[in-house]
Amino acid sequence: SKIFAFSIRKDEEPYLKEWAAAHPDVEVDYTDQLLTPDTAALAKGADGVVVYQQLDYTPETLQALADQGITKMSLRNVGVDNIDMAKAKELGFEITNVPVYSPNAIAEHAVIQTARVLRQAKRMDEKMAHGDLRWAPTIGREVRDQTVGVIGTGHIGRVFMQIMEGFGAKVITYDVRKKPELEEKGYYVDSLDDLYKQADVVSLHIPATKSNYHMIDAEVIAKMKDDAVLVNVSRGPLVDTAAVAKALDDGKLFGFVMDTYEDEVGVFNEDWTDKDFPDPLLKDLIDRPNVLVTPHTAFYTTHAVRNMVVKAFDNNLALVEGQEPDTPVEVG
Instruction: Annotate 110-167 with DSSP letters as a single string.
Output: HHHHHHHHHTTHHHHHHHHHTT----TT-----GGGPEEEEE--SHHHHHHHHHHHHT
Using the minimum distance from each CB to ligand COI, give the nearer residue, 173 or 232: 232
Q: Which residues pair with 75 in a beta bridge?
A: 51
Is residue 79 within the footprint of ligand COI (CB under 6 A)? yes
Number of H helices, E strands in the chain: 12, 12
Which 3 state secondary structure label does DSSP give 211? Answer: coil
The Cα–Cα gap between 93 and 72 comes to: 6
Is residue 109 within the footprint of ligand COI (CB under 6 A)? no
Is residue 77 within the footprint of ligand COI (CB under 6 A)? yes
Say whether 235 is catalytic. Answer: yes
Using the minimum distance from each CB to ligand COI, give the nearer residue, 296 or 311: 296
Q: Which stretch binds ligand COI (CB under 6 A): 72-80, 136-144, 170-178, 245-253?
A: 72-80
The Cα–Cα gap between 98 and 52 comes to: 11
Greatest CA separation for the chain: 66
Which 3 state secondary structure label does DSSP give 170? Answer: strand
The Cα–Cα gap between 79 and 296 comes to: 13
Q: Which of 87, 158, 205, 296 binds ligand COI (CB under 6 A)?
A: 296
Residues 313-332 that bind ligand COI (CB under 6 A): none
Q: Measured from the CB of residue 22, what is the shortest distance to ligand COI in angstroms?
A: 23
Number of residues binding to ligand COI, judged by CB under 6 A: 6
C-alpha torsion angle, residues 118, 123, 129, 131 (rounded to 10): -110
Encoded one letter per residue, x for contact with ligand COI by CB under 6 A and - for no contact, window 192-231 reads: ----------------------------------------
Q: Which stretch binds ligand COI (CB under 6 A): 73-81, 108-116, 211-219, 311-319?
A: 73-81
Encoded one letter per residue, x for contact with ligand COI by CB under 6 A and - for no contact, window 50-69 reads: --x-----------------
Using the minimum distance from each CB to ligand COI, give the nearer residue, 120 or 232: 232
Question: Which residues are part of the catalytic machinery?
Answer: 235, 264, 296
Residues near ligand COI (CB under 6 A) are: 52, 77-79, 296, 299
